[in-house]
Structure 1
Amino acid sequence: MIAEIGHYALVLALALALLQSVLPVWGARARDAALMGLASPLALGQFALVALSFAALTHAYVTSDFSLQNVIENSHSAKPLIYKISGVWGNHEGSLLLWVLILTLFGALVAAFGRNLPDRLKADVLGVQGMIGVAFLLFVLLTSNPFTRVDPSPLEGQDLNPLLQDPGLAIHPPLLYIGYVGFSMAFSFAVAALIEGKVDAAWARWVRPWTLMAWLFLTLGIAMGSYWAYYELGWGGFWFWDPVENASLMPWLSGTALLHSAVVMEKRDALKVWTILLALLTFALSLLGTFLVRSGVLTSVHAFAVDPARGVAILIILAVFVGGSLALYAIRAPALKQGGIFAPVSREGALVLNNLFLTAATAAVFVGTLYPLALEAATGEKISVGPPFFNNTFGPLMLPIMLVMPFAPLLAWKRGDATRAARGMVGAVGVAVLATVLVAGFVQGGPTLAALGVGLALFAIVGAFAEVMERTKLFRAPLAESFRRAKGLPSSSWGGAFAHAGMGVTLLGVVAATAWSSEVVLAMRPGEQIDFAGRQIAFQGVEQRPGPNYRTTAAELVVREGGVEVARLEPARRLYTARKMDLTESSIATFGVSQLYAAMGEARGDGKTALRISYKPLVTLIWLGSIVMAFGGLLSLADRRLRVGAPRKAARPSPAMQPAE
């Protein structure tokens, strides 16, 4: 009965989405306040119904209701509770329901917190959001219904894919989907603006919080997925240029460009046409990622194995929304008035340069990901585009961004002073040069350019706070005054500094882990010991351990420094009994921001066990940098000027202005 409630809730949500996509937009054209006023209750009602449906599917998983086909294929009664819950979105049907839930959540948030939006704009935004909801609710109900019953029902399920039975995969998809789907708000705002034929600085102010929220969660989602692949798949790498990894990277790059372009539009009323186009393309890339994962055209550990017919349906949705929005853009864009003019050396100029390289990097990833698919479809020829292509195209395009990024905040709007900005970067340049010389002189091994990479990373980290130091007069005024000025800075200034510094932190981790990692592959008998990465690693033996829905064979390694035990590593292999699937479980010991990584191979007939042990210096900085970036986004989101509907506080009168008693 609960499953039927979930199914009917989706049908009712579709009915509300149809009304939401028609009545408010019609009301905006007719200037009918009553029809426009329906947008918010319809959006809230649609979210409530989809949430009810999602709760019904979650209940089926938690109670192991094997009368549902979806639960049979992706759950098991012996599975831990956390993986019963994460199993809800660990499959095609459930993940699409999560996709729709987040889509309706964003619509509900605009309905609840968009009180200061003009009525016509709000009606159009929620109307476009309703149209997206109609498309995906129809897709779920007609092709991917998670509530399909089976009669008779089996006594046990087939279990969730063991690769997905991990805490990282319980968190990664929701974070990623909030990012993917969150860009639908930027898309809806852009289409609404094109319908109205009006785009101004106020529009940029309204769209930025939603874009920033999506970017923040997408950053965390990509980082969580990268770390999961690093420790769960047993490969020991942080990025493999997998097509599905690229599918999430492309909207992140485009979304980053959109954020910077929206700043220019808000401050200078410029780049209107470009900002609208970026908003459309960023969501288009999110839809493309949804298509790639579910179309069956990719072979990846990240992809859902589904039939191509569903992929065709998603491709139709992609074509309708992207093609329709771009057609509207082509009609309306020429009529949009351009804003202020600025000099090439200005903050706007630096942000435009940032946009150019970010979009070029997006294009490079796009071509490298889709070209093999297009070639196979056209000629039947199969080729692979691997890391060498991406490293040789993406890396050089990101280099100018890292160089220009610290300078941009030091340049004035409209016309900047390059000499003054350069003076503000003296400290960052000094730190970068010193670090490059020290690394080149004292660190042995690694590529020749690695020292320059370290210098560039530190230049970005230190330079990220150059504007903050300039505005607080740090080292040029008494410390108390600098502290007072720092407290008075808007949180968006701190947010930008931390986000840019996070890029440098990630780059530092990438350079160190790539250039100076060491690895040994060997077979060891119990009692044997090796010296590796300045430590002694002793193999104690192999132990069999039972699990709730698997059996584990674990190796025991003791790590010592100077004869003192400092860590234990327990790489393992798990056999999941329901699926008869063998899985490698790596083991990691962290020393500061570096890691010792061990993976276990097959046991050999001579009593030896195959092991792969790696040392990865500074590798955790890769993901720590992502957290710093997301923290910067959170600080920017907290800026009162960006909060939709937040009234401005009245200034407290100074003591001199207080009335005499």
Structure 2
Amino acid sequence: MFLFANATIYIGLAIAIYALLITTLGISTKNQKLINSGKGGLIALFVCAALAMISLFYLLGTSQFQYQYVSDYTSSELPIIYKLTALWAGNAGSLLLWTFFLTLYTIMIAFSRKMKGNPMVPYISAILLANAVFFFFILGFVAKPFLLLDTVPLEGKGLNPMLQNPGMIIHPVTLYLGYVGLAIPFAFAMAALILKNVDDFWIKMTRRWTIIAWLFLSLGNIFGGQWAYVELGWGGYWAWDPVENASFMPWLTATAFLHSVMIQERKNMLKIWNISLIIVSYALTLFGTFLVRSGVLTSVHAFANSNLGLYFLIFMGVAVILALYVLMSRYNLLKRSAGEFQSFVSKESSFLVNNLLLVGAAFAVFWGTIFPLVSEAVRGTKVTVGLPFFNKVEAPILLSMMFVMAVCPMLAWQRSTVKNLRKNFMIPAILAVVGMILMVVLGIQKAWAVIGYGVIILLLITHYLEFYRGVKARRKMTNEKPLVALYRLMIRNRRRYGGYIVHLGIAFITMGIIGSQNYDVETMKTVALGQSIELKDYRLNYERLDQKKEGINDIVYADITVFKNGKRLGTFQPEKVFYGNWDQPSSEVAIISSVKEDLYIVLSAWEDDGKATFVVKINPMMNWLWFGSFMIVIGALFAVWNGKYGNVTPRYTGVRKEVS
């Protein structure tokens, strides 16, 4: 097994190098046989990656502790699902997963029916193969997944308790699908520039790929936040941790890219901007991987210190320099063929403003993340940037983006007249102001919260009007019933209305963020058996403290009966788990959710006489955050579903467009 598993890596590296060289040679000599040979190598490369994955799954699942990776991340007592998901618990396994997804994406592009006969395919394959060579090299010589130990241990070290959560099954996988997915539009963009194709064909061909990558990044961030909320016992869902930021930055720039490409398609603008955005998005995926694996920043999510960070930094630098060289070599070509803005008050201008805000948000996160490194290099002292900095900087940017999202649907393309603005914005603006006044009357006094909810009201109204006017116009033409008209309107404009659903999801997420960040209440109290903790409308009766055993783990738990406004909600059990093969215990929190708020209970400490210390927190509007996340996923799936893009994607003839 040892020889077979390692052979999949080294043979994969050899095939990746061969396929890259033969494809490049085929391109330079215009020899289709060589290109076809490289294309066949892609299949063999995918088979090698798949066999390596299967091999590591088998070793983990059968507890082959003679392998260092298996010994480091599993134990015989670990449930089988976590034995298998330990594949992405460490450096070597997670990079193997990345490599598998990369080879999978590559063959999906190379053998796509839509790409058949497309002269861009060899260039795209070569770019993705260069990535594959790097990752197979890392697996073969730096982070080896199939390394044998000198002596075979009787038992493995086990999996970090924080990773023994359903989030471990989904969160890393979705993030890697998003990270690797952004390499696809990057490869298309570089191939288009090399061929001097400055039209929007590459954008139309990669639209679905970009949305899918964006969707997986969204899912990764959502599942990561939910995982932190239920597992870490701190009552929050986003701590602006460096590794959280690493996945959030490419999400921001990819979001900007998805918006600005619509301007290029419709108005032939922002070509240089779009190429730059996709280069930055791709580079940020590598930068995030560097942060996670270098150990240069402290994070609960990061892997152990290793020399992997240097390799990723070098690879990222080379990739970015080459991409910028290709971009600058085609700069004049892109600039001459670009359109111009006709008015500051137009839909395309609002898209540009939104792009600047998204990129500004990404830069703020980037600066806050790397500032400890900069401060250490300049002053010799590592200065940590925490929650206050990110919240103060990102909050106004978020609200500004929400405002742009609210007004954009009401603006006309090219130029909006005063009459058009008055007609579209008068009623929504009045209703938003009335809503803000009512909030103040009802006791919402914090300025940012009032402004934020006012902007959300404006967004909800303008988006409702978009649906209403579309249905009204369709019914006038077809006499369809309202629901039928709505359904047919949406399925014939999937991209537009899918985007609106995503906007509504972001509005609900913002509602949850504003509520939970501004109006959360927390208490920490030590009580004896039979005593109560009161917090706002809740009363928590401490009934019992006991202990139980599950496998090799010891669990201390408390029975807490919860009442709200005198009504019994039930008995709940916050726990503290002590692991037989891990020094650090973990908290299993009790969460009572409602539409209005979450009651969050943590068993913090206890004494021999039965006294126990509990942390009790009320997090308002939390379910709106998760509901908004669900809407984002639905909107993205709706926008990408059913292949409607075939109607807007031209058949490529291979003719180059050049501007002399």
Task: Give the structure-1-normalised TM-score.
Answer: 0.93
1:635 aligns with 2:638: yes
Structure 2 stretches lacking a partner, 5+ long? 652-660
Measure, in 2, the Cα distance between the counterparts of 1:470 and 1:548.
61
Measure, in 2, the Cα distance between the counterparts of 1:357 and 1:93.
37
The match for 1:508 is: 511
Measure, in 2, the Cα distance between the counterparts of 1:519 and 1:593.
16
The match for 2:376 is: 376
The match for 2:411 is: 411
5 Å-filtered alignment, 1:64-463, equals: 64-113=63-112, 115-116=114-115, 119-307=118-306, 309-336=307-334, 337-343=336-342, 344-417=344-417, 419-420=419-420, 423-426=423-426, 428-443=428-443, 447-463=446-462
Question: How many Å apart are 1:183 and its aligned residue?
Answer: 0.6
Measure, in 2, the Cα distance between the counterparts of 1:423 and 1:4.
73
Structure 1 stretches lacking a partner, 5+ long? 649-661
**Given residue 333 of structure 2, which amino acid in structure 1 is its aligned partner?**
A
Question: How many Å apart are 1:593 and its aligned residue?
Answer: 5.1
SS in 2 for 1:405: helix
SS in 1 for 2:578: strand
Comparing 331-340 with 294-303, greater Cα deviation is found at: 331-340
Measure, in 2, the Cα distance between the counterparts of 1:318 and 1:644.
36
The match for 1:568 is: 571
SS in 2 for 1:355: helix
Measure, in 1, the Cα distance between the counterparts of 2:419 and 2:58.
63
1:4 aligns with 2:7: no
> For 1:509-535, what per-residue CA distance to the aligned partner results, in whole angstroms no more than 9, with x for missing partners?
011111221111101222112333313
**Given residue 434 of structure 2, which amino acid in structure 1 is its aligned partner?**
L
Contact 1:555–1:572 (CA under 8 A) maintained in structure 2: yes
Contact 2:532–2:539 (CA under 8 A) maintained in structure 1: yes
Measure, in 1, the Cα distance between the counterparts of 2:352 and 2:475.
32
Question: How many Å apart are 1:184 and its aligned residue?
Answer: 0.8
Measure, in 1, the Cα distance between the counterparts of 2:83 and 2:483.
52
Question: How many Å apart are 1:193 and its aligned residue?
Answer: 1.7
5 Å-filtered alignment, 1:536-615, equals: 536-561=539-564, 563-592=566-595, 594-615=597-618
Task: Give the structure-2-normalised TM-score.
Answer: 0.93
Question: How many Å apart are 1:596 and its aligned residue?
Answer: 0.8
Question: How many Å apart are 1:170 and its aligned residue?
Answer: 2.0
Measure, in 2, the Cα distance between the counterparts of 1:19 and 1:466.
57
1:484 aligns with 2:485: yes
Question: How many Å apart are 1:557 and its aligned residue?
Answer: 0.8
SS in 2 for 1:67: coil
SS in 1 for 2:633: helix
SS in 2 for 1:473: helix
Contact 1:559–1:565 (CA under 8 A) maintained in structure 2: yes
Measure, in 2, the Cα distance between the counterparts of 1:513 and 1:204.
38
Question: How many Å apart are 1:252 and its aligned residue?
Answer: 0.5
> For 1:127-150, what per-residue CA distance to the aligned partner results, in whole angstroms no more than 9, with x for missing partners?
100001101110111110110012
Assess, with a 3 A threshold, how the Cα gap between structure 1 residues 199 and 42 changes in structure 2: closer, same or farther. Answer: farther
Question: How many Å apart are 1:605 and its aligned residue?
Answer: 4.8
Question: How many Å apart are 1:475 and its aligned residue?
Answer: 11
**Given residue 615 of structure 1, which amino acid in structure 2 is its aligned partner?**
I
Contact 1:568–1:589 (CA under 8 A) maintained in structure 2: no
Measure, in 1, the Cα distance between the counterparts of 2:71 and 2:103.
27
Measure, in 2, the Cα distance between the counterparts of 1:367 and 1:124.
34
The match for 1:658 is: none
SS in 2 for 1:192: helix
SS in 1 for 2:114: coil
Contact 2:399–2:452 (CA under 8 A) maintained in structure 1: no
Measure, in 2, the Cα distance between the counterparts of 1:391 and 1:523.
31
Measure, in 2, the Cα distance between the counterparts of 1:469 and 1:64.
59
Of the three residues 525, 538, 551, the one matched with 1:522 is 525
Measure, in 2, the Cα distance between the counterparts of 1:525 and 1:474.
66
1:499 aligns with 2:502: yes
> For 1:232-282, what per-residue CA distance to the aligned partner results, in whole angstroms no more than 9, with x for missing partners?
111111211111111111101000011111111222222111111111110
**Given residue 328 of structure 2, which amino acid in structure 1 is its aligned partner?**
A
Assess, with a 3 A threshold, how the Cα gap between structure 1 residues 420 and 140 changes in structure 2: closer, same or farther. Answer: same
Contact 1:37–1:123 (CA under 8 A) maintained in structure 2: no
Question: How many Å apart are 1:8 and its aligned residue?
Answer: 1.2
SS in 2 for 1:361: helix
Measure, in 1, the Cα distance between the counterparts of 2:65 and 2:626.
38
Question: How many Å apart are 1:426 and its aligned residue?
Answer: 4.7
> For 1:160-185, what per-residue CA distance to the aligned partner results, in whole angstroms no more than 9, with x for missing partners?
11111111122110011111111111
Measure, in 2, the Cα distance between the counterparts of 1:77 and 1:232.
23
Contact 1:65–1:71 (CA under 8 A) maintained in structure 2: yes
Assess, with a 3 A threshold, how the Cα gap between structure 1 residues 571 and 159 changes in structure 2: closer, same or farther. Answer: same
SS in 2 for 1:396: helix
The match for 1:57 is: 56
Contact 1:640–1:646 (CA under 8 A) maintained in structure 2: no
1:31 aligns with 2:34: no
Contact 1:465–1:497 (CA under 8 A) maintained in structure 2: no
SS in 1 for 2:331: helix
SS in 1 for 2:119: helix
The match for 1:656 is: none
SS in 2 for 1:98: helix
Question: How many Å apart are 1:418 and its aligned residue?
Answer: 6.0
Assess, with a 3 A threshold, how the Cα gap between structure 1 residues 366 and 644 changes in structure 2: closer, same or farther. Answer: farther
Aligned length: 645
**Given residue 355 of structure 2, which amino acid in structure 1 is its aligned partner?**
N
SS in 1 for 2:617: strand
Q: CA RMSD in A?
A: 2.3
Assess, with a 3 A threshold, how the Cα gap between structure 1 residues 13 and 415 changes in structure 2: closer, same or farther. Answer: farther
Contact 1:288–1:318 (CA under 8 A) maintained in structure 2: yes
